[in-house]
Amino acid sequence: MGSSPQPRPAAPIWRSLLILAVTCLLSSASVSSADVDYSVQEHSPPGSLIGNIATSIDLANLVSPENLPQMKYSFLNTESSLRNLFVLDDKTGDLRLSRRTTLDRELVCPFSADCVLELQVAIQSTISQFFRKVFVNVDVIDINDHAPTFRENVTKITISESVQIPTSFPLPSAVDEDRGSNNSLQGYEILPADGPFRLSYSKSNSNLMLEVVSELDHEKRDSYRLKIIARDGGEPVKEGVLTVEIDVEDVNDNKPVFTETNYARTVDETVSQGSLLLTLTATDEDSGDNGKVRYHLPEQLAHVMSMFSLNATSGELRLVGDFQTADTEVYVIRVEASDQAYTTTTTVTIRVEDTINSEPKLLVSYLSPDNFSSITEYANLGVAVAHILIKDTDRGPNGIVTCRMATPQYFELQGYDVKEYKVIVAHKLDRETISVHNVTVECEDAGQPSLTASKTFQVKVTDENDNPPAFKERLIHARIEENNELGAELTTVSASDPDDPALGNGRITYSLEDVSEGEFLIDPVSGTIKVMKSLDYEHRRQVNFTVIASDNGTPRRSARVALGVSVLDLNDMTPHFAQSSFSIRVSERTLHGELIGELSASDYEQGKNGQFDISVVPGSYRVTETRRDPGSEFAFVGGGSNSHSNNNNINN
Ligand SMILES: *[C@@H]1O[C@H](CO)[C@@H](O)[C@H](O)[C@H]1NC(C)=O
Ligand SMILES: *[C@@H]1O[C@H](CO)[C@@H](O)[C@H](O)[C@H]1NC(C)=O
Ligand SMILES: *[C@@H]1O[C@H](CO)[C@@H](O)[C@H](O)[C@H]1NC(C)=O
Ligand SMILES: *[C@@H]1O[C@H](CO)[C@@H](O)[C@H](O)[C@H]1NC(C)=O
Ligand SMILES: *[C@@H]1O[C@H](CO)[C@@H](O)[C@H](O)[C@H]1NC(C)=O
Ligand SMILES: *[C@@H]1O[C@H](CO)[C@@H](O)[C@H](O)[C@H]1NC(C)=O
């Protein structure tokens, strides 16, 4: 307990390995050399703001204003038992109490007057190479949340009336879990104060004694009922009450006493589950039931409770967890021994020794609240995506560890501190090429033979809107027959965008330009274009407009394509004669087969639809004799036909 931690830069490993309880025990000896000192009252409401890291280290003066909003905050080299107590906002740097647990000073720092929790926080830019490790000390301020309490409400003492004056009898003392000058136990009061009893106690040792200061006379009074009130000095004062019932005979009672004041053991990390670590023994000088001692582990930190078990009758402390998979090197365990009346508390310190040349351990901090690392695809070279702490407690060459990047294509290792590395971006990233990188770091110690360890983790590349949508075609042709129904489907266009659709960067919305909604409509999601007006070939043979595909990223990117719609002709027009009637004069001397005149007709349609025949319908003409003279002529008079059947052959 008296040893002080080594100075910070020389021993980052050691620092990071300190378990919570040890941190508390040691912190009173160490002068704060943290970058940031905070204090927070225990039992503050869950989620309470403790401080803002950025403000506290005056980050605005360290980085450029455009860099400031790009900062990311994460815990570094911080054990989960400690990490669970706090929440660090990765975007703002706000350090808060966790909403899931309450900060109880007596639980995180048992038996210690001061409670300073040491955290490390990484501040890094997501776009530039800025990376800084910040030491944060959180001083947990005691509040008067515990009253002095006696283990029992009532205790019985039998005293002979012939007792010598003065004689002292031990009483169970009260325990106040609060520490500090005012919240801890301050003293006792006895009621009534004017009887033959006094209390004696000293603050330095917790023994409370009841002194008989004047003769007891059984004839006058055969029993006493006293109240002992224990008080702390909090605001308001809290108290605990013990009723003492006093009767005849002299029976002494003793507290259980542990054979060692504080137990400390160093055990091999390879100790198997279920192994006996040590046997606690507390002796009690009383005979019979009063002398029976039972052992137990009072409520304490979860990582202690899950690692050890204590046999209530034999005092055997056994390992139930596995030292090699736990990341704790020193455990401080509270143990209690009780007889019928009294409880004695002590601590067992178990230091787990690294005995074999164990392979180096790699602790990866992902610099994010997730259990993987993530980085924007816009990240510049040199930006850190993870931090690696090498744990190798072996001495000599066994403890000299070198690491290398086994997957050096996109990421590299950069030494940061003693046995610490940053994993930095070494090659431009592109999410559309590789969205998740498997990064493997390999480390090797200098032992004979050397032992290696490797760690693989994922770096997810987060999407940026770096790709615009694109159409395959440079020009799209579509056709539709005229006289279409309203809402007829024309065609479906499709653009692609390799960016992430989930973020909107790759989600495309279609729209039309240079055309009215009354004529053409596009479904913004499917890209299906509908014709909302009946088209007329004779009026318009081609409609040109533009289709736009935009993504939903910031900033938005878009692509355009020209769409030409050909309106197809239908045979909706009839041929018609140039005149409603023709008259042709024919001389009677006209020879067979001689041309007597021309009829003309036309059709608005194009191509086949525009072809027609003319035939003479029998009986549809008259012959008018206009002159009987030689050279007289006949006239045929015919009417224009409206027949659609223009494929009839002319019958000569
Ligand atoms: C002691 O008294 C308190 C309050 O009067 C009560 O809640 C508690 O159960 C008692 N304890 C025992 C062991 O009798
Ligand atoms: C403790 O109590 C005394 C007397 O009430 C007061 O003067 C002092 O400021 C208190 N100390 C603390 C740390 O609260
Ligand atoms: C505790 O120890 C006693 C004596 O060695 C033994 O009989 C008992 O089974 C043990 N209890 C447990 C729960 O292991
Ligand atoms: C990461 O966390 C998720 C959910 O929180 C969990 O499903 C997953 O198994 C974890 N992965 C690793 C490697 O721990
Ligand atoms: C990363 O590893 C996983 C399996 O762990 C594998 O499915 C995936 O293809 C790997 N990714 C790359 C880019 O190699
Ligand atoms: C439509 O575009 C085509 C070629 O892109 C052009 O030849 C035609 O004249 C255009 N038609 C109209 C009505 O703009």
Q: State which of 156-170, 321-335, 349-363, 418-432 shows the largest mean pLDDT.
A: 418-432
First to last CA, the chain: 130
Cα separation of 172 and 320, whole Å?
Answer: 33
**Bridge partner residues of 470 (DSSP):** 496
Instruction: Report how far ligand 4's centroid is from the alpha carbon of 327 (Å).
Output: 19
Taking CB atoms and a 6 Å cutoff, what residues make up the pocket around ligand 6?
A: 542, 544, 564
Least Cα distance to 472 among 452, 492, 488, 443 occurs for 492
What is the pLDDT, as a whole number, of residue 500? 93
Mean pLDDT, residues 95-104 taken together: 90
- pLDDT of 181 > 80? The answer is no
Q: Which of 123-137, 230-244, 606-620 has the lowest mean pLDDT?
A: 606-620
Residue type, 397: P
Domain ranges of the chain: 11-141, 149-249, 257-353, 361-462, 470-568, 576-644
- pLDDT of 149 > 50? The answer is yes
Band (640; pLDDT cuts 50, 70, 90):
very low
**CB distance 479 to 566 below 8 Å:** yes
What is the pLDDT, as a whole number, of residue 605? 66
Identify which has the larger pLDDT, 26 or 501: 501
Band (617; pLDDT cuts 50, 70, 90):
confident
Q: Which of 253-257, 378-382, 463-467, 605-609 has the lowest mean pLDDT?
A: 605-609
CATH architecture of the domain covering 149-249: Sandwich (2.60)
Q: Which of 112-116, 374-378, 622-626 has the lowest mean pLDDT?
A: 622-626
* Count of other CB atoms within 10 angstroms of residue 512: 19
Could you report the per-residue pLDDT of 183-216, keeping only the tens digit for each? 888 889 998 888 899 998 876 666 788 888 888 8
Q: What CATH topology corresponds to 11-141?
A: Immunoglobulin-like (2.60.40)
Work out the mean pLDDT of the chain and round it to a whole number. 82
What is the pLDDT, as a whole number, of residue 647? 40
Mean pLDDT, residues 132-156 taken together: 89
Cα separation of 113 and 111, whole Å?
Answer: 7
Instruction: Report how far ligand 6's centroid is from the alpha carbon of 547 (Å).
Output: 15
Mean pLDDT, residues 628-652 taken together: 44
For residue 350 the two structure tokens come to: 């178990």
> Could you give the strand order of the β-sheet that contains 520-522, starting from the edge strand earlier in sequence?
488-492, 528-531, 520-522
Q: Of 314, 316, 319, which is best to mutate to test ligand 3, by the most ligand atoms within 8 angstroms of its C-beta?
A: 314
> Hey, do 149-249 and 361-462 end up sharing a CATH topology, with the first three levels equal?
yes
Q: What is the CATH number of domain 361-462?
A: 2.60.40.60
Give the ligand with the smallest distance to the CA of 153: 1
- Which residue's CA lies nearest to atom 14 of ligand 2? 182
Longest dimension (CA), the chain: 185
Atom of ligand 3 nearest to the CA of 312: 1
Q: Of 434, 435, 436, which is best to mutate to test ligand 5, by the most ligand atoms within 8 angstroms of its C-beta?
A: 436
Band (28; pLDDT cuts 50, 70, 90):
very low
Q: State which of 193-202, 307-316, 362-371 shows the largest mean pLDDT.
A: 307-316
**CB distance 159 to 212 below 8 Å:** yes
What is the pLDDT, as a whole number, of residue 250? 42
What is the pLDDT, as a whole number, of residue 30? 40
Mean pLDDT, residues 535-548 taken together: 92
Identify which has the larger pLDDT, 254 or 505: 505
Taking CB atoms and a 6 Å cutoff, what residues make up the pocket around ligand 5?
A: 434, 436-438
Q: Which of 335-349, 424-438, 469-483 has the lowest mean pLDDT?
A: 335-349
- pLDDT of 317 > 50? The answer is yes
Identify which has the larger pLDDT, 461 or 164: 461
φ, ψ (nearest 5 deg) of residue 70: -90, 10
What is the pLDDT, as a whole number, of residue 11? 32
Band (623; pLDDT cuts 50, 70, 90):
low
Cα separation of 136 and 53, whole Å?
Answer: 9
Q: Of 313, 317, 318, 319, which is best to mutate to test ligand 3, by the most ligand atoms within 8 angstroms of its C-beta?
A: 313
Mean pLDDT, residues 370-398 taken together: 85
Band (254; pLDDT cuts 50, 70, 90):
low
φ, ψ (nearest 5 deg) of residue 291: -100, 0
Q: Is the previous residue joined to 618 through a cis bond, with omega within 30 degrees of 0?
A: no
Instruction: Report how far ligand 2's centroid is from the alpha carbon of 238 (Å).
Output: 15
Atom of ligand 1 nearest to the CA of 152: 13
- pLDDT of 21 > 80? The answer is no
What is the pLDDT, as a whole number, of residue 253? 55
Identify which has the larger pLDDT, 379 or 626: 379
Q: 42-78 burial, b for 16+ CB within 10 Å, e for fewer? A: bbbeeeeebbbbbebbebeeebeeebeebbbbbbbbb
Atom of ligand 2 nearest to the CA of 182: 1
- Which residue's CA lies nearest to atom 5 of ligand 6? 564
Band (15; pLDDT cuts 50, 70, 90):
very low
Q: What is the CATH number of domain 257-353?
A: 2.60.40.60
Could you report the per-residue pLDDT of 504-531, keeping only the tens digit for each? 999 999 999 988 888 999 999 999 999 9
What is the pLDDT, as a whole number, of residue 31? 46
Q: Which of 252-256, 322-326, 437-441, 582-586 has the lowest mean pLDDT?
A: 252-256
Could you give the C-alpha distances from 632 to 78, 165, 314, 336, 625, in angstroms and in order? 125, 178, 151, 148, 8
**CB distance 425 to 407 below 8 Å:** no
What is the pLDDT, as a whole number, of residue 645? 41
Give the ligand with the smallest distance to the CA of 241: 1
- pLDDT of 263 > 80? The answer is yes
What is the pLDDT, as a whole number, of residue 629? 52
What is the pLDDT, as a whole number, of residue 541? 92
Q: What is the CATH number of domain 470-568?
A: 2.60.40.60
